[in-house]
């Protein structure tokens, strides 16, 4: 079974300059845009804007390739975002019945362990997000 899940994605950002200000937009995430005084400031703020936009939607758009972006009168810069926070924010807990050996169930009960918490941590570790 393939355990690799794409948790980090790079989106093309179009950056424009008008007078002494910069503004940026993300073709793949239309609700993500920002302004700033420097390109460095724009890159920090647009990353936050992308992550915020993704945390409020149920669909994570596939990034357009760098070569497929029309920069118009600006330039294109790739910005990498982590989807871990997005996944955690958009995920609700669900009840899941599991089967475990009785001796483990008894040990967990005797030690006051929360089996759901242990299972969650084990799955996060298995998929490299814990």
In the chain, the domains with their CATH numbers are 8-90 (3.30.160.250), 93-130 (no CATH)
Q: Which two tokens stand for residue 25?
A: 């937009």
Average pLDDT, the chain: 87
Task: State residue 116 phi and psi, 5-degree precision.
Answer: -60, -40
Answer whether residue 93 shows pLDDT above 90.
no
Q: What is the pLDDT of residue 88?
A: 73
pLDDT mean over 7-17: 92
Q: What is the pLDDT of residue 2?
A: 46
Edge-first strand listing for the sheet containing 21-25: 33-36, 21-25, 8-18, 75-82
This prediction's pTM: 0.67
pLDDT confidence of residue 3: 44
């Amino acid at each position: 079974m393939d355990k690799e899940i794409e948790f980090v994605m790079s989106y093309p950002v179009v950056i424009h300059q008008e007078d002494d200000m910069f503004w940026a937009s993300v073709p793949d995430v239309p609700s993500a845009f920002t302004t700033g005084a420097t390109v460095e400031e724009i890159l920090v703020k647009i990353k936050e804007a992308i992550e915020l936009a993704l945390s409020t939607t149920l669909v994570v758009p596939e990034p357009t390739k760098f070569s497929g972006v029309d920069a118009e009168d600006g330039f294109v810069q790739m910005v990498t975002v982590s989807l871990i926070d997005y996944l955690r924010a958009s995920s609700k807990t669900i009840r899941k019945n599991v089967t475990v050996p009785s001796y483990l169930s008894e040990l967990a009960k005797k030690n006051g362990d929360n089996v759901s918490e242990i299972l969650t941590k084990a799955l996060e570790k298995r998929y490299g997000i814990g």
